[in-house]
Amino acid sequence: MRFLLTIVACFLVVSCQKSAVDEGQSYDMIVEGGINTMYKEQYIQLKKLDGLKSNSGTIGISGATVRVTNGPNTIEFNDLGEGLYYGELFNLKDTVGNVFQLTITLNGKSYEAQDQLIPVIPIENAFLPVEKNNLNGKWGVKVSKHLFGMRTSNKWLIMPQKDFSEDDISSFRSPFSYSYRLGAPNVLNNLLGKTYNYEVSLKDSLIVSKFSESPRYSRFIYNLFQETEWKGLLSAVPANVEGNISNNALGFFYVMDGVRKSIPIKDIRTGK
């Protein structure tokens, strides 16, 4: 499990800007993770709020049975401890339709969710949420965290080759970016201009990973963006953002198709 130590070290550090739960409201669990076709290794995280205060942290849920099915195909997840569950993806040639179902059983109660596998559109250099710039003779790249009004909704991970690790794809704490078909919810929102910034040379390359999103997952991320900057669901979740987990659970089980491309810095568009 090549990135487990990274995950364990960092999955407790994030907090949201708004209250995690409504006053007096409690939830059985928070679910994060899903299926990423780019990798055989799959991870799902189960957490619960450690108290009802808005500043409370979360703790992992162990002892659950976690399973993902697609037609006759089944992924059984193993409990690694601290709320982290690991499974291996079946041969995608055997995929039946595009619906994947998550079933979690804990203390005699079942929680279910479904998401659709949408084929990812190949990466086009002209539509990357990134630009390069030269400041006082030093080159840098600026990766936008949120782009609105795009042709498709996608999740991105864009990093310089020298900084990239395979662990970054699977980590719940990677510097992901998001593009939305919908327009910006509030042009005055100070999150719209947020970027990831890297120092590079013109001899470097960017590793660009692009992931598809189902319409429902895209809407979930869009709605969550309006509540708080998107940083994952492991520490706190605004209670009024509806996910796709049944039976009094928060979060979203997703299924993403992925593609990766290496692009030389010299081929990245230059900012104005």
Q: For residues 177 and 144, is the Cβ–Cβ distance under 8 A?
A: yes
Range of the domain at 111: 17-119+213-258
Cα separation, 184 vs 144, in Å, equals 14
- Looking at the fold, whether 229 and 107 belong to one and the same domain comes out as yes
* Confidence (pLDDT) at 167: 66
Residue 230 lies in a domain: yes
pTM: 0.82
- Is residue 3 in some structural domain? no
Instruction: Please give the pLDDT value at position 55.
Output: 54
Residue 108 included in any domain:
yes
Residues 104 and 217 in one domain: yes
Compute how many other C-beta atoms are within 10 angstroms of the C-beta atom of residue 49.
23
For residues 78 and 26, membership in a common domain is answered with yes
Buried b (16+ CB within 10 A) or exposed e, 64-98: bebbbbbeeeebebebbebbbbbbebeeeeebeee
* pLDDT score of 164: 77
Q: Are residues 156 and 231 in the same domain?
A: no
Average pLDDT over residues 150-168: 83
What is the pLDDT at residue 5? Answer: 31
Tokens of 72: 């006759």
pLDDT of residue 234: 41
Which pLDDT tens digit goes with each residue over 3-41? 333 332 333 223 333 334 444 467 899 999 999 999 999
User: Which pLDDT score is estimated for 2?
Assistant: 40
2 within a domain of the structure (yes/no): no
Q: How far apart are the first and last CA of the chain?
A: 43
- Domain membership of residue 33 (yes or no) is yes
Residues 218 and 110 in one domain: yes
**Mean pLDDT value of segment 171-191:** 71
232 within some domain: yes
Task: Tell me the sheet residues that pair with 220.
Answer: none
pLDDT at 230 over 60: no
Q: Give pLDDT tens digits for 261-270.
A: 999 999 999 9
Q: Does residue 161 surpass a pLDDT of 70? A: yes
Edge-to-edge, what's the strand order for the sheet holding 154-160? Answer: 146-147, 176-179, 154-160, 205-212, 258-264
- Of 226, 208, 211, give the one whose Cα is nearest residue 153: 211
In a domain, 272, yes or no: no
For the cut 80, the answer to whether the pLDDT of residue 183 exceeds it is no
Kindly report, residue by residue over 233-265, the tens digit of the pLDDT.
444 444 457 899 999 999 999 999 999 999 999
Q: Give 56-105 pLDDT, tens digit per residue.
A: 678 999 999 999 999 999 999 999 999 999 999 999 989 999 999 999 99
Q: Are residues 44 and 168 in the same domain?
A: no
pLDDT of 51: 63
Q: Is residue 191 part of a domain?
A: yes
pLDDT digits (tens, 9 = 90+) for 202-228: 999 999 999 999 999 999 988 887 776
- On whether both 108 and 240 belong to a single domain, the answer is yes
Task: Report the domain count for the chain.
Answer: 2
Residues 54 and 148 in one domain: no
